A and B are shown apart, each in its own frame.
Chain A
Amino acid sequence: MRRSGGALALRGGVLALGFGFLYAPIVLLVLYSFNASRLVTVWAGFSTRWYGALARNEGFRAAALTSLEVALMAASLALVLGTFAGFSMARFARFPGRPLFGFALMAPLVVPEVILGLSLLLMFVAGESVIGWPQGRGVMTITIAHATFGACFVSVLVRAQLAGFDRTLEEAALDLGARPWAVLARITLPGISPALVSGWLLAFTLSLDDLVIASFVTGPSATTLPMAVFSSVRLGVSPEVNALATLFLGVVFVLVALAFWLMARADRRRIIS
Chain B
Amino acid sequence: MIGIGRWARLVLIGLPFAWLGLFFLLPLAIIVKISLARSAIGIPPYTPLFFDDGSGLKIQATLANFALLASDDLYLRAYLGALGNAALATALCLAVGYPIAYAIARSPGRWRLLLLFLVMLPFWTSFLIRVYAWLAILKPNGLLNQLLIAAGLIATPLPLLNNVFSVELGLVYSYLPFMILPLYGSLSALDESLLEAAADLGARPFRAFLGVTLPLSLPGIAAGSLIVLIPAIGEFVIPDLLGGADTLMIGKVLWDEFFNNRDWPVASAVAVVLVAALAIPILLAQKFLAPERAA
Residue ranges of A at the interface with B (Cβ–Cβ < 8 Å): 1-2, 11, 14-15, 18-19, 21-23, 25-26, 28-29, 32, 40-41, 80-82, 84-85, 87-88, 91-92, 95, 97, 100-116, 118-120, 122-123, 125-126, 129, 144-145, 147-148, 151-152, 155-156, 159-160, 163-164, 170-171, 174, 179-180, 183-184, 201-202, 205, 208-209, 211-212, 215-216, 226, 229-230, 233-234, 237, 241-242, 245, 248-249, 252-253, 256-257, 260, 264
Q: Which of A41, A114, A122, A171 contacts B264 (CB 8 A)?
A: A122
Query: Cβ of B139 and Cβ of A114 under 8 Å apart?
Result: no
Query: How many of chain B's residues touch chain A, expressed as a range?
Result: 35 or more
0/1 per residue, B231-265, Cβ < 8 Å to A?
10111110001000000000100110011000010
Residue ranges of B at the interface with A (Cβ–Cβ < 8 Å): 1-4, 9, 11-13, 15-17, 19-21, 23-28, 30-31, 34, 44, 96, 99-100, 102-104, 106-107, 113, 115, 117-122, 124-130, 132-137, 139, 141-143, 146, 173, 176-177, 192, 195-196, 199, 226-227, 230-231, 233-237, 241, 251, 254-255, 258-259, 264, 267-268, 271, 274-275, 278, 282-283, 285-286, 289-292, 294-295
Q: Chain B: which residue is nearest A96 at the CB level?
A: B13
Query: Cβ of A129 and Cβ of B24 under 8 Å apart?
Result: no
Contacts of A106 in B (CB 8 A): 285-286, 289-290
Q: Interface SS of chain B: helix, strand, loop or mixed?
A: helix
Q: A23 vs B135: C-alpha distance in the bound complex, in angstroms?
A: 15
Contacts of A155 in B (CB 8 A): 16
Contacts of B133 in A (CB 8 A): 25-26, 28-29, 245
Query: Cβ of B122 and Cβ of A123 under 8 Å apart?
Result: no
Contacts of B199 in A (CB 8 A): 2
Query: Cβ of A245 and Cβ of B129 under 8 Å apart?
Result: yes
Contacts of A249 in B (CB 8 A): 125-126, 129
Q: Which of B20, B34, B117 contacts A122 (CB 8 A)?
A: B34
Q: Which of B31, B136, B234, B237 contacts A29 (CB 8 A)?
A: B136
Q: A252 vs B123: C-alpha distance in the bound complex, in angstroms?
A: 10
Q: Which of A41, A122, A211 contacts B268 (CB 8 A)?
A: A122
Query: Cβ of B231 and Cβ of A113 under 8 Å apart?
Result: yes
Q: A218 vs B219: C-alpha distance in the bound complex, in angstroms?
A: 39
- Using A122-B30, A216-B258 as known contacts, say yes or no to A209 and B126 having CB atoms under 8 A apart: yes
Query: Cβ of B195 and Cβ of A1 under 8 Å apart?
Result: yes
Contacts of A119 in B (CB 8 A): 27-28, 30-31, 271
Query: Cβ of B23 and Cβ of A148 under 8 Å apart?
Result: yes
B123 to chain A, nearest CB (A): 9
Q: A89 vs B247: C-alpha distance in the bound complex, in angstroms?
A: 41
